[in-house]
Amino acid sequence: MIKVSVIGAGTMGAGIAQIAATNGHEVCLFDSFDGAIETAESKLKKILDRLVEKERITQKENEIILGKINFTKDIKEVSGSGLVIEAIIENLDIKQKVFSEIESLVEDNCIIASNTSSLSIASIASACNKPDRVVGIHFFNPAPLMPLVEIIPSVQTSEKTLNSAKSIIDKWRKVTVIVKDTPGFIVNRVARPFYGEAIRVYEEGIADFATIDWAMREIGGFRMGPFQLMDYIGNDINYTVTETVFTAFYFDSRYKPSFTQKRMMEAGYLGRKSGRGYYDYSIENTPKANENRELGQQIVNRILVMLINEAADALFLNIATKEDIDLAMTKGVNYPKGLLAWADEIGISNVLKQLEELQNEYGEDRYRPSPLLKRMVKENRTFY
């Protein structure tokens, strides 16, 4: 079994190291910052102890997993790895330097992967002499719990690198999807309207946060409402992802960030972690939703057709297969159904009609329907 190295022992790196060790690999977990590796080690010990308490693993397994991880501040220890996964700070210059250094320490057949959420794999790979060995392997937080992993070949990635990377992650019992090296990959692109359109509905005064959240949960079947979820993710993080995707798509108005969320971030109303976001977590009483089902259904329909439009457009542009687009949203962000399957269920002509109505009413490019939806309606086709 190959040795796996993880660079960066933060939130994601520590979780990825845990998965690799649990799956029997010798693991090298490296971090260059003072204290980071010690913190990662003590956090991981606590997590494994909890798993023993909950009887998910035995004490013996706990010891075996920990025994497989070499917590180190010496990057030279990555030598001998078959796979290196980088999970350091989201900064292209720093990632490129680290990739170049890793390449000088490993054999030619070692795959070097990045867990980046927003940088292009092509730009990271360009720092290597053998860019064909570089691929994106994008885990979701918390990595040990979230089943989805997006595998992202860049223009330089070889077929062999892609297949080997996918086969390793499949063996870790993750659900892998293959996605083109484009901004936001699948999940962070297709999910944008879940936040953006919900905020828009609020900004127009159609409903308040609590009502929109209630509608998306109770009528839409989503596990969390958009405002609840933004408070959970953190308005700083969620806003930055939106802004990054918007910029990366050359300011396509579909991904336009909102002032409402920007002001939340500027005010320090980051969500749960700061005690206040869209909701105030210091008070017991949660605001009451207006549980009018007709209004709720309108809200759900509006956000849902925008999500379906995004999923259809990702398929139209061959970002991934229809199966992988649907899997990504159900396994990466717990959507109750795949968006394309959902479109079939409510009728693609209904989706198109609602989008056209929105586009006519607002005159905004944000609501332009994907050409694929138009084509499918014309040809009377369904996704499945």
Ligand X SMILES: NC(=O)c1ccc[n+]([C@@H]2O[C@H](COP(=O)([O-])OP(=O)(O)OC[C@H]3O[C@@H](n4cnc5c(N)ncnc54)[C@H](O)[C@@H]3O)[C@@H](O)[C@H]2O)c1
Q: Annotated catalytic, 117?
A: yes
State the Cα–Cα distance between residues 27 and 350, nearest whole angstrom. 51
Residue nearest to ligand X (CB): 10
Look at residues 84, 68, 64, 88 and name the one whose alpha carbon lies nearest to residue 76: 84
Interface with ligand X in residues 140-199 (CB under 6 A): 140-141
**87 is an interface residue for ligand X by CB under 6 A:** yes
Interface with ligand X in residues 117-136 (CB under 6 A): 117
Look at residues 237, 125, 110, 255 and name the one whose alpha carbon lies nearest to residue 181: 125
Q: Annotated catalytic, 86?
A: no
Decide if 144 contacts 19 (C-beta within 8 A): yes
Interface with ligand X in residues 253-282 (CB under 6 A): none
How do beta strands 27-30 and 3-7 pair? parallel
Decide if 140 contacts 185 (C-beta within 8 A): no
Q: Whose Cβ is closer to ligand X: residue 188's or residue 211's?
A: 188
The type of residue at 345 is E
**31 is an interface residue for ligand X by CB under 6 A:** yes
Q: Annotated catalytic, 25?
A: no
C-alpha separations of 362 from 122, 258, 357 in Å: 37, 16, 9
Stretch that binds ligand X, among 89-97, 268-276, 335-343, 353-361 (CB under 6 A): 89-97
CB atoms under 10 Å from CB of 224, counted, come to: 17
Element (H, E) at 253: none
**12 is an interface residue for ligand X by CB under 6 A:** yes
Q: Rule CB under 6 A: choose which of 59, 63, 74, 89 binds ligand X.
A: 89
Q: Whose Cβ is closer to ligand X: residue 9's or residue 352's?
A: 9
To the nearest whole angstrom, how small is the minimum distance from the Cβ of residue 286 to ligand X? Answer: 26
Q: Annotated catalytic, 188?
A: yes
Please pick, among 26, 86, 103, 150, the residue that the annotation labels catalytic.
150
To the nearest whole angstrom, how small is the minimum distance from the Cβ of residue 40 to ligand X? Answer: 7
Q: Whose Cβ is closer to ligand X: residue 33's or residue 362's?
A: 33
Q: Rule CB under 6 A: choose which of 21, 44, 98, 169 binds ligand X.
A: 98
| Residues 6+ positions from 187 with CB-CB distance below 8 Å | 140, 148, 150, 328, 329, 332, 333
Please pick, among 103, 115, 138, 370, the residue that the annotation labels catalytic.
138
Residues 52/53/54/60 CA torsion (nearest 10 deg): 20
How do beta strands 81-86 and 69-72 pair? unpaired
Q: Whose Cβ is closer to ligand X: residue 82's or residue 136's?
A: 136
Stretch that binds ligand X, among 11-19, 202-210, 251-259, 270-278 (CB under 6 A): 11-19
**Cα first-last separation, the chain:** 39
Catalytic residue numbers, as ranges? 117, 138, 150, 188
Contacts with ligand X by CB under 6 A lie at 7-13, 31-33, 36, 87-90, 94, 98, 115-117, 139-141
